[in-house]
Amino acid sequence: MILYWHRRDLRGTDNRGLARAVSLSADPVVPVFVFDPIILEHASPVRVACLLEALEGLREWYRERGSDLLVARGEASDVLPRLAAEHDIDAVVWAEDYSGLARERDRAVTAALEDDGVACETVHDAIHHEPGSITPNEGDHYSVFSYFWKKWRDREKREPVEPPAADALADVMGEPLPSRSELGFDEPTATPQSVTQAAARERVTEFCSEPIYRYADDRDKPAIDGTSRLSPHLKWGTIGIREVYEATERAAERAETDDDRESVTAFQRQLAWREFYAHVLAFNPETVTENFSGYEHAIPWRNDPDELEAWKAGETGYPIVDAGMRQLRSEGWMHNRVRMLVASFLTKDLLIDWREGYDWFRRNLADHETANDVGGWQWAGSTGTDAQPYFRVFNPVKQGREYDPNADYIREYVPELEAVPADTIHDWPALESDRRVTLAPSYPAPIVDHGERRERAIAAFEQARGE
Ligand SMILES: Cc1cc2nc3c(=O)[nH]c(=O)nc-3n(C[C@H](O)[C@H](O)[C@H](O)COP(=O)(O)OP(=O)(O)OC[C@H]3O[C@@H](n4cnc5c(N)ncnc54)[C@H](O)[C@@H]3O)c2cc1C
């Protein structure tokens, strides 16, 4: 028999790993998920809530087909050999995960299974083009996205994979899933969007029917639901990337204008960023904690604890920054434009190490994905590959005016400013303090002066670069 080990691919359809497991033998496949303490150590309440919801959905999917998802607790390198012996397993199949921690775990699992004479097979599933498959003339991965994108875009994509037939799945019965508290996690402060296979498919269908044609225009406006919100699904694998891509290709075929078609391409480009960062991380696993660029230890981070707390709480007195930080806390998600802004504010205006911000995002994002999160933080902190130049510091007032002109997004998450006119909201840091107190007594004054902090950040980076 074959054991299929689900990890971050919590679905039955368009699952290359599961399809491979089914193709290996005429015997039915036994599906399993392992709650591994080594991995859970890096989890958080909101992500465990998403994981359990996705697993519940996956279990239901198997039960509708007369099978079940086995669940086990313990280190995967102990649990899988035990399950393999219990179910008389010849081979264990799983889909590759490219982070350093995952690869370390997978090496331990492979060694333990092979010691017991059980074969291991892995497939590439999470991204279209695996690390090492798109390379520059010299080196193992691209460091500049635009070059990567050109090759990624032109490369043929795989078709979605059919789900296995019901009789290819073993008639097993699993234990109930552990609860969040049994796994040792508190109730999350955020209520994240639903993360199931059905919700993912609904989201793709809806997004590709119409909003995708406005994506190029709307994607930077946080008050509009103009992006796909697929990130939690891609993180947990409740939808396959081939299925997503195919839906975008169908949308491109239905496009009526060049603008529509270009908008679809703009969306596909973002899918390519996800793969670019997966490649960067696969070949540079140390960048989870170290700067990608040379100036490790040279940047004089200040790490003021009060300023860090104000940033986390959404109490900086910069309305768009605070709106983003509060969206994160309440939904476990934040709009991309605002992620860039709050990350710039932390690393430049506050001169706080990007690792502090990464750690907060890691704990609070439902879609936290190591490659994208590290990539995003090192981009904003100007320490990454193809990063924001250190001298281009986002102005949170201008950005608020440009991308949330009516302050609808700000008012949604900062209710203290609900009755304040949009222009005055954007002017908030420059208002006289008496005026601020009259308008919104419970909303804070700006904790820093952006102009001064911008100069300070540029000087600090120049010093770190030896200029
Ligand atoms: C500081 C910072 C931290 C981030 N952390 C994460 C993270 O932990 N997980 C995560 O998935 N994304 C992260 N991003 C990237 C981006 O903000 C989110 O992918 C996006 O906001 C998710 O919303 P969406 O699905 O509606 O995106 P859409 O705009 O609809 O994009 C579709 C998909 O493309 C991918 N994508 C889009 N933008 C990016 C990007 N800049 N980099 C990599 N992939 C991208 C995502 O998979 C996304 O779901 C981060 C960005 C920054 C600046």
Residue 66 alpha carbon to ligand 1 centre in Å: 36
At 46-61, the pLDDT tens digits run 999 999 999 999 999 9
pLDDT-derived band at 296 (thresholds 50, 70, 90) equals confident
**Torsion, Cα of 395, 396, 399, 403 (10° steps):** 170
- Residue of 127, 287, 336 to test ligand 1 pocket, by largest number of atoms within 8 Å of CB: 336
Report how far ligand 1's centroid is from the alpha carbon of 44 (Å). Answer: 19
Residue-averaged pLDDT of the chain: 96
Residue 377 CA: nearest ligand 1 atom is: 1
How is domain 2-126 classified at the architecture level of CATH? 3-Layer(aba) Sandwich (3.40)
- Cα of 275 vs centre of ligand 1, distance in Å, is 11
Residue nearest to atom 46 of ligand 1 (CA): 231
Per-residue pLDDT, averaged over 445-451, amounts to: 98
* DSSP code per residue over 288-333: GTS-SSS-TTTS-----HHHHHHHHHT-SS-HHHHHHHHHHHHHS-
Ligand 1 centre and the CA of 235: distance in Å?
10
Q: What is the pLDDT, as a whole number, of residue 298?
A: 87
Q: What is the pLDDT of residues 393-404, one digit of tens each?
A: 999 999 999 999
Q: Which part of the chain is CATH 3.40.50.620? A: 2-126
Return residue ranges of the chain for CATH 1.25.40.80: 197-283
Atom of ligand 1 nearest to the CA of 342: 1
pLDDT of residue 173: 93
Note the pLDDT tens digit of each residue in 107-130: 999 999 999 999 999 999 999 999
> Which residues have any ligand 1 atom within 6 Å of their CB?
219, 227-231, 234-235, 270-271, 273-274, 277, 336, 339-340, 343, 361, 365, 367-369, 372-373, 375-377, 380
Q: Is 52 annotated as a binding residue?
A: no
Question: Residue 293 has what pLDDT?
Answer: 85
CA neighbor of 336 nearest in space, from 307, 315, 367: 367
Of all protein residues, whose CA lies closest to atom 26 belonging to ligand 1?
229
CATH of domain 197-283: 1.25.40.80
Domain with CATH 1.10.579.10 in the chain: 305-464
144, 150, 151, 156 alpha-carbon torsion, rounded to 10°: 140
Rounded to 5°, angle at Cα 326 from 215 and 39: 85
Hey, which CATH number is domain 305-464, 2.40.30.10, 1.10.579.10, 3.40.640.10, 3.40.50.300? Answer: 1.10.579.10
Residue 107's contacts (CB-CB under 8 Å, 6 or more residues apart) are: none
Confidence grade of residue 295 (pLDDT, cut at 50, 70, 90): confident
Per the annotation, does 228 bind a ligand? yes
In testing the pocket of ligand 1, which one of 99, 221, 270, 394 has its CB within 8 Å of the most ligand atoms? 270
For residue 308, name the pLDDT band (cuts at 50, 70, 90).
very high
Mind listing the pLDDT tens digit for each residue in 14-23?
A: 999 999 999 9
Whether 33 and 76 have beta carbons less than 8 Å apart is answered as no
Ligand 1 atom 43 nearest Cα: 274
For 56-105, how does the pLDDT look when each residue is reduced to its tens digit (9 = 90+)?
999 999 999 999 999 999 999 999 999 999 999 999 999 999 988 999 99
